[in-house]
Amino acid sequence: MSANEMLAFETDCHIFDGCGFPAPGLHSFLFEPLFTVGGYDFNKPMLLAVLTTVIVIGFFWAAFGRAKVVPGKLQMVGEAGYDFVRRGIVYEALGKKEGEKYVPLMVSLFFFVWIMNLWSIIPVAQFPVTSIIAFPAALALIVYVLWMYLTFKKHGFVGGLKNITGYDKSLGPVLPLAMTIEFFSNVLVRPFTHAVRLFANMFAGHVLILMFTIASWYLMNGIGFAYAGVSFVMTVVMTAFELFIQAVQAYVFVLLATNYVQGALAEHH
Amino acid sequence: MNALTLAEEVENPLLPPIPELVIGLIAFAIVFIFLAKKLLPIINKTLDERRAAIEGGMEKAEAAQAEAQQVLEDYRAQLADARHEAARMRQEAQEQGVAVIAEMRSEGQRQREEIIAAGHAQIEADRKAASASLRQDVGKLATDLAGRIVGESLVDHARQSRTIDRFLDDLEVKAGDVTKVEATR
């Protein structure tokens, strides 16, 4: 449980009682370890990450484990999700022939990220795992390594460098500058933005929900009850909005990953 | 306050803590391996099977449709043949009927003519017989009567015959005159 929630709900601190608003902040993303193994703490986000693995595998096992030609309900749902990523993202960018190889990775990425995001609005859990930078970073790292590997495998060392730096002779004297910027943008900034885009969205979403939740509690005093009602409505609205954002961010993350792979396989121009 | 002490401990939120990074990688790796090696191949196989089944089903349906079409055409051809045959038989029967009727008619005609001819012949024969016997009877009666009147038998046959014939001829001539007179009247 976050330190902030402890403050907000385990104390009877309300408005007009002379105590300040326990605003959510970075400390809301710190958890006391559930237990410690060999000097390493095991905390709630880690537990949720592990549960994500269990849930994604569990779901697809239940859906596809005994796949039938005439699908059951669960299999239909699984197929819809599978097809969404396969056709909607991978085939779109890479084409059926070249994309087929990357379908498992992208499907895994999408559902893994989505479920990690989804924890944000699951009661008791109520924390998006991806708002801890390490998790998006790990996934972005995998995509980054894959992208590098494919670039140099496809084009060789010099060709790969050209691909990364956007080498184009027609640029003339601007070429060194363009190459520097491209290199910087592709090699250094790209993995960072890839991870941070997901992280920041989920981080901000979580702070928003926390904000209105804590405020609902904090405002429950005197005239403050009216404000608390508004705040609670906002909590509900933000929760619904988060449900949407979680899916969108998972989609964007996978879409970008696919585009990077496509860029690596494309002929440099 | 607890929150403040915790907040002071907070590091840069963009610096990934290593344990979380490792857990994240492992967690994702497990998901990826399970999906890539086991579950997605299963569903791909199933999807292929389904596509094959659907395509097979469509082929079957097409074959069935073609067969149905063929049967329908055969049936129509047979029906047309049957109609044709029936029409032909009706025509034939009609022709036969006409022929039979014509034949019957001609046969009837022929029989009627035969009967009429036979009747005529019979009548002619009867008339001749009657005429002969009458002539004989009249001759006999005349001779008998003449014999009684004359008192002697007219034995001379030749003379007798001649006399009778002449008498009868006279009668015939008279009768002819009477009919002529009647006709003119």
Q: Do A30 and B31 touch (CB under 8 A)?
A: no
- Candidates A101, A106, A133, A197: best to mutate against B (most CBs of B within 10 A) is A133
Q: What pairs with residue A41 in β-bridges?
A: A36
Can you give the pLDDT at residue B165?
80
Q: Which residue has the higher pLDDT, B62 or B12?
A: B62
Please state, in angstroms and rounded to a whole number, the distance separating the CA atoms of residues B51 and B43. Answer: 12
ipTM of the complex: 0.86
Cβ contacts (< 8 Å) between A103 and chain B: which residues?
40
Residue B93: pLDDT over 90? yes
Q: Is residue B44 part of a domain?
A: yes
Q: Do A22 and B36 touch (CB under 8 A)?
A: no
Can you give the pLDDT at residue B154?
58
The alpha-carbon gap from A221 to the nearest alpha carbon of chain B, in Å, equals 23
Q: Is A156 left (phi over 0), alpha (psi -120 to 50) or beta?
A: left
Q: Is residue B169 part of a domain?
A: no
Q: Using one digit for the tens of pLDDT, what is the confidence trace for A114-138?
A: 999 999 999 888 899 999 999 999 9
Q: Is residue B163 part of a domain?
A: no
Helix (H, G, I), strand (E, B) or coil at A204: helix
A4 near B CB under 8 A: yes
Residue A237: pLDDT over 70? yes
Residue reference for tokens 């979580």: A206
- 8-state DSSP, A267: P
Residue B10: pLDDT over 60? no
Q: pTM value?
A: 0.70
Cβ contacts (< 8 Å) between A64 and chain B: which residues?
39-40, 42-43, 46
Q: Using one digit for the tens of pLDDT, what is the confidence trace for B138-173?
A: 888 888 887 777 766 555 666 667 777 887 888 888
Task: Compute the average pLDDT of residues A156-183.
Answer: 86
Q: Do B30 and A57 touch (CB under 8 A)?
A: yes
> Within 10 A of A24 (CB to CB), how many other CB atoms are there?
25
Please state, in angstroms and rounded to a whole number, the distance separating the CA atoms of residues A196 and A176. Answer: 28
Can you give the pLDDT at residue A48?
93
Residue A147: pLDDT over 70? yes
Can you give the pLDDT at residue A166?
82
**pLDDT bucket at A50, cuts 50 / 70 / 90:** very high
Give me the half-sphere count of Cα atoms (radius 13 Å) on the Cβ side of residue A133: 16
Q: Using one digit for the tens of pLDDT, what is the confidence trace for B129-139?
A: 888 888 888 88
The nearest alpha carbon in chain B to A70 belongs to B50
| Run of H or E including A41 | strand A40-42
Residues in B whose CB is inside 8 Å of some CB of A read 2-3, 6-7, 9-10, 13-25, 27-28, 30-32, 34-36, 39-40, 42-43, 45-47, 49-50, 53
**pLDDT bucket at A10, cuts 50 / 70 / 90:** low
**pLDDT bucket at B14, cuts 50 / 70 / 90:** confident
The alpha-carbon gap from B89 to the nearest alpha carbon of chain A, in Å, equals 58
Which range of residues forms the domain containing residue B137?
A: 19-154
Can you give the pLDDT at residue A32?
82
Can you give the pLDDT at residue B108?
92
Indicate the average pLDDT of chain A: 88
Q: Using one digit for the tens of pLDDT, what is the confidence trace for A65-99?
A: 888 888 889 999 999 999 999 999 999 999 989 89
The nearest alpha carbon in chain B to A39 belongs to B19
DSSP percent split of chain A into helix, strand, coil, nearest 5 = 80, 0, 20
Task: Compute the average pLDDT of residues B45-64.
Answer: 90
Radius of gyration for the alpha carbons in chain A, expressed in angstroms and rounded: 23
Please state, in angstroms and rounded to a whole number, the distance separating the CA atoms of residues A73 and A77. Answer: 6
Chains A, B: CB contacts within 8 A come to: 131
Q: Do B43 and A78 touch (CB under 8 A)?
A: yes
Task: For residue B28, give the nearest of A26, A139, A199 by CB distance.
Answer: A139
Q: Is residue B7 part of a domain?
A: no
Cβ contacts (< 8 Å) between B7 and chain A: which residues?
25-27
Query: Are A217 and A232 within 8 A, CB to CB?
Result: no
Q: Do B43 and A133 touch (CB under 8 A)?
A: no
- Candidates B10, B33, B39: best to mutate against A (most CBs of A within 10 A) is B39
Q: Using one digit for the tens of pLDDT, what is the confidence trace for A213-233?
A: 988 888 888 888 888 999 999
Can you give the pLDDT at residue A14?
78
Q: Is residue B166 part of a domain?
A: no
Q: Is residue B31 part of a domain?
A: yes
Residue B184: pLDDT over 90? no
**Domain count within chain B:** 1
Can you give the pLDDT at residue A240?
94
Buried-state track A62-91, b at ≥16 Cβ within 10 A, e below 16: ebbeebeeebeeebeebbebbeebbeebbb
| Of the candidate ranges A30-39, A150-159, A226-235, A245-254, the one whose mean pLDDT is the lowest | A30-39
DSSP codes, B110-132: HHHHHHHHHHHHHHHHHHHHHHH
Task: For residue A3, give the nearest of B6, B13, B32 by CB distance.
Answer: B6
Q: Do A67 and B20 touch (CB under 8 A)?
A: no
Q: Do A78 and B50 touch (CB under 8 A)?
A: no
